[in-house]
Amino acid sequence: MAHKKGTGSTRNGRDSNAQRLGVKRYGGQNVLAGNILVRQRGTKYHPGNNVGIGKDDTLFALIDGVVTFERKGKSRKKVSVYTGATESEPATVAS
């Protein structure tokens, strides 16, 4: 056994913070304008209707609505936001 610490253990012992990437709002969820939908590096998901893209490739909603994940061609995936009521939203009935 070594009686001195050695250089490895004193020079190691650091790590970078996690980047917290991934899908933040899933298909069928209601979102407000400005909500972040996907955080990503590169464009794994492309912006569809009513979705903007930030300088770090983050996708965000431009309008209030419901998120949908769609295919564009064979391999490209896109995220869109459409207005309209969903099943999770109770319909208001005029009495």
Pick the CATH number of 19-82 from 2.40.50.100, 3.40.50.2300, 3.30.1490.20, 3.90.180.10: 2.40.50.100
* Token code pair at residue 18: 């996690």
pTM recorded for the entire structure: 0.77
Query: pLDDT by residue for the chain (95 residues), tens digit each?
Result: 777 777 777 788 899 999 999 999 999 999 999 999 999 999 999 999 999 999 999 999 999 999 999 999 999 999 999 997 555 555 556 66
CA-to-CA distance for 91 and 49, rounded, in angstroms? 25
- Return phi, psi of residue 34, to 5°: 100, -15
**DSSP characters for 38-94?**
EE-SS-SEEE-TTEEE-TTS-EEESSSEEEEEEEETTTEEEEEEE-S--TTSPPP--
Beta bridge partner(s), residue 75: none
